[in-house]
Copies of this chain bind each other. A is one copy, B any other.
Amino acid sequence: MQSLYIIKIGGNVIDNSESLHKFLEDFTALKGYKILVHGGGKVATQLSETLGIEAKLVDGRRITDIETLRVVTMVYGGLINKNIVAQLQRYGSNAIGLTGADGNLIKAKKRPIKTIDYGFVGDLDDNSVNANGISSLLEAGFTPVFSALTHDGDGQLLNTNADTIASALAVAMSGLYSTTLIYCFEKKGVLQDIDDEDSLIRDINPERYDELKAAGIIHSGMLPKLDNAFSAIDFGVQAVIIGHANDLNKLNDEASFGTRLSK
């Protein structure tokens, strides 16, 4: 199988023009098939505020009402996505900007109302990703760039977490490609000591993961991230790497980029 990188960047990269440009240049230099998934950033929040749309939170969870969905469709699907595509084209990457509605590539289900109505939020399942459709774009020479939007197949766009999209893409594509999922964030990776960027843990397998949890080194916010990563690996993803967006250039010699999670 040919190899495929699926790389997710979040708002912290998007909001910093210098970081974003360096990242996009490094992304372009990566050899082989690749897919970029990007989250939002401050622009959506700023636009909502300017338009007088109040952020709706229920039990601390953000609600996507119809006005907020319009804003994220404009900002994620339009402004951010198309500017990333234009920059990638400048650097020489044949980017094509997508939502899950495009080519019916990612179909979600509106989150059912239990105690909270999350509004226009889409959840993914095992059949959400159209791997053959995405593969046909890769084989035709395009580099897909996904914003965090999906659709329900019945005409409704939905807001879907970018981490979740990246993970679902990786699992689905691992049937066709030897797939590595990369989460870029603002740390070098999983740190032995959170205050010491030099204490990077290079490799974690499930046994080591259990040890690190038992020792209290991995806890709270990192737990769901790593649980999801190991779950993706169980479902066929070759490795999940967590590293700093500014260091992506080190990926071509894999030994020196981030923390690598694998079996």
Contacts and interface: CB of A to CB of B under 8 A. Distances in A.
A78 B89 contact: no
Interface residues of A, number: 40
A70 B83 CA distance: 10
A88 to B, nearest CB: 9
A153 interface: yes
A79 B83 contact: no
Q: Give this chain's copy count.
A: 2
Given A51-B50, A98-B96, A83 B136 contact: no
The binding surface of chain A is classed by DSSP as helix
Contacts of A103: 94-96, 142
A89 B142 CA distance: 21
B90 A97 contact: no
Interface in A60-75: 70, 73-75
Nearest to A97: B102
B89 A151 contact: yes
Contacts of A157: 82-83, 86
B82 A99 contact: yes
A153 B101 CA distance: 26
A61 to B, nearest CB: 24
A249 interface: no
B96 A82 contact: no
A70 B77 contact: no
Contacts of A70: 79
Nearest to A51: B50
Given A74-B74, A78-B75, A79-B70, A97 B99 contact: yes
21 contacts: A50-B50, A74-B74, A74-B79, A75-B78, A78-B78, A78-B81, A82-B102, A83-B157, A85-B101, A86-B155, A89-B151, A89-B153, A89-B155, A94-B103, A96-B98, A96-B102, A97-B98, A97-B99, A97-B101, A97-B102, A103-B142
Interface of A: 50-51, 70, 73-79, 81-83, 85-87, 89-90, 94-99, 101-104, 136-137, 140-142, 149, 151, 153-157
